[in-house]
């Protein structure tokens, strides 16, 4: 069972330490039980970890929160390259585990509320916030500790926002949910609206109208948002060239990709890469 965690701390979360692990093969997390909480976010590969007597296989863009005082360890060796970000932190009071019958009240009353583990919808934004916090950890100055506390708090708020069940997307119909999943799985393909509609057995005009009504975006806008988010992830985490990113994300025209990226992000892909791409940190 995936536990739901709740924190009602108004003051900034107390940051302790953060970093990134990179392993070429056969990594096994040693058995530990810290007196502080640990948040892990997987960038690449699969992390096999046991927490609270449950085995997890955390894949790319998935996270887990390891509660203070609870033992965790690797239950299996990683296979191939593994990379994940981690941060240790303390809270004013113990993180509460919320029962299913109290979810609604907990969501309303808590500043932070999210499942123990899961996959992030907006993983690019989350990854950027994580890396910005890591950048601050290398700086020096009188405001460093406060900036780290606030950066961590923003990261956990982003996690709460991403996993909050009271979002408009949870109210969409099964059909549009399936359409969204199909688009996410085929974002790098050059498909037409008619081909998409045929896949689900509907007229293009009807499906397009229903999609816009429920998602409040056109299908083209939704697809571009996904492609740009993928592009940001590739630029910030892997340092690929603009041309490589363009084709990887389904843009057949590199100049069009650059134009769309600049319009949505306010930066060219090259400027974005220069601002956010960081070398691996062991």
pLDDT at 236: 80
Q: What are phi and psi of 172, to 5 degrees?
A: -75, 155
Closest CA to 130 of 149, 113, 150, 151: 151
The token pair that represents 73 in the structure block: 């360890």
Q: Which residue from 279, 275, 278 is spatially nearest to 267, judged by alpha carbons?
A: 275
pLDDT band, very low/low/confident/very high, at 177 (cuts 50, 70, 90) = confident
Band of pLDDT at residue 100, cut at 50, 70 and 90:
low
* The pLDDT of residue 278 is above 70: no
Residue whose tokens read 């990113």? 245
Hey, what are 268's tokens? 């060219």
Q: What's the number of CA atoms in the CB half-sphere (13 Å) around residue 230?
A: 21
Residue-range domain boundaries for the chain: 4-161, 174-278
Lowest mean pLDDT among 56-70, 107-121, 140-154, 237-251: 107-121
* Token representation of residue 14: 């107390």
Thinking of the domain 4-161, which architecture would CATH place it in?
Sandwich (2.60)
Reduced to 3 states, what is the DSSP secondary structure of residue 100? helix
Residue 180 pLDDT > 70: yes
What is the per-residue pLDDT for 134?
A: 93
- pLDDT, residue 200, reads 94
DSSP for 130-164, written as a single string:
HHHHHHHHH--STTHHHHHHHHHHHHHHHHHHHH-
User: What is the Cα–Cα distance from 83 to 46, expressed in whole angstroms?
Assistant: 8
Residue 216, pLDDT > 80, answer: yes
Identify the three-state secondary structure at position 13: coil
What pLDDT, on a 0 to 100 scale, did the predictor assign at position 43? 93
Q: What's the rounded Cα separation, in Å, for the pair 276 and 267?
A: 11
pLDDT at position 233: 81
Q: Are the C-beta atoms of residues 117 and 38 closer than 8 Å to each other?
A: no
The arithmetic mean of pLDDT across residues 252-266, rounded, is 93
CA gap 113, 163 in Å, rounded? 8
pLDDT tens-digit series, residues 129-169: 999 999 999 888 888 999 999 999 999 999 988 887 444 44
Identify the CATH assignment for 174-278 out of 3.90.1150.10, 3.40.50.720, 1.10.10.60, 3.40.630.10. 1.10.10.60
Burial bucket for residue 157 (CB in 10 Å: 0-12, 13-18, 19+): middle
Predicted model pTM: 0.62
pLDDT-derived band at 58, boundaries 50, 70, 90: very high
- CA distances for 252 relative to 188, 243, 267, angstroms: 9, 10, 20
Mean pLDDT of 118-135: 90
């Amino acid at each position: 069972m995936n536990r739901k965690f709740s924190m009602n701390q108004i003051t900034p979360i107390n940051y302790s330490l953060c970093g990134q692990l990179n392993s070429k093969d056969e990594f096994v997390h040693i058995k530990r039980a810290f007196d502080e909480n640990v948040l892990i976010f997987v960038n690449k590969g699969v992390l096999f970890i046991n927490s609270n007597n449950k085995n997890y296989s955390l894949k790319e863009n998935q996270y887990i929160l390891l509660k203070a005082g609870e033992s965790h360890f690797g239950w299996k060796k990683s296979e191939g390259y593994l990379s994940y970000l981690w941060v240790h932190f303390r809270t004013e009071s113990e993180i509460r585990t919320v029962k299913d019958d109290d979810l609604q009240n907990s969501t309303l009353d808590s500043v932070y509320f999210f499942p123990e583990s899961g996959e992030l919808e907006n993983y690019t934004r989350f990854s950027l916030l994580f890396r910005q916090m890591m950048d601050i950890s290398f700086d020096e100055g009188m405001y460093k500790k406060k900036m780290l506390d606030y950066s961590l708090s923003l990261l956990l708020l982003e996690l709460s926002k991403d996993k909050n069940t009271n979002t408009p997307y949870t109210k969409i119909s099964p059909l549009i949910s399936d359409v969204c999943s199909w688009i996410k799985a085929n974002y790098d393909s050059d498909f037409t609206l008619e081909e998409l509609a045929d896949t689900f057995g509907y007229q293009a005009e009807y499906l397009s109208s229903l999609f816009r009504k429920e998602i409040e975006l056109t299908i083209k806008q939704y697809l571009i948002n996904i492609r740009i988010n993928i592009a940001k992830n590739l630029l910030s985490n892997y340092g690929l060239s603009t041309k490589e990113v363009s084709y990887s994300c389904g843009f057949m025209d590199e100049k069009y990709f650059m134009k769309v990226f600049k319009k949505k992000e306010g930066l060219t892909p090259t400027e974005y890469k220069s601002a956010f791409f960081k070398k691996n940190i062991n």
